[in-house]
Amino acid sequence: MDAKKLDHKLDCKTCGTIRMDIPADATEHTQIHCSGCGGYLGEWGELQDDFHRQAGDTQAFDLNHGNIIKK
């Protein structure tokens, strides 16, 4: 993975952005959609797992309420 860019499950396959519409009460199995175009991204649990896999041990990124923040 390029350390400067997150990709794979997190990007919308329809519009190419990384913008998630995440309900406040999301569980592991909540379906998450792109907040830009409404495309299906996956279940919240698998998206979180993918984020942590990509971010690795670098602690360079944080996932906070659906926002990806570069530290």
Nearest-CA neighbor of 14 among 33, 37, 32, 35? Answer: 37
For residue 2, tell me if it sits in a domain. no
Residues of the domain holding 45: 8-70
- The model's pLDDT over 14-55, given as tens digits with 9 standing for 90+, comes to 988 888 888 889 899 999 999 889 999 999 999 888 877 776
What pLDDT shows up at residue 10?
Answer: 77
- For 67, residues 6+ apart whose C-beta sits below 8 A from its C-beta are none
Per-residue confidence (pLDDT) for residue 67, from 0 to 100 = 63
- What domain count does the chain have? 1
Q: How many Å apart are CA 27 and CA 8, to the nearest integer?
A: 21
Structure confidence by residue, pLDDT tens digits, 31-40: 999 988 999 9
The domain spanning residue 54 has which CATH number?
2.20.25
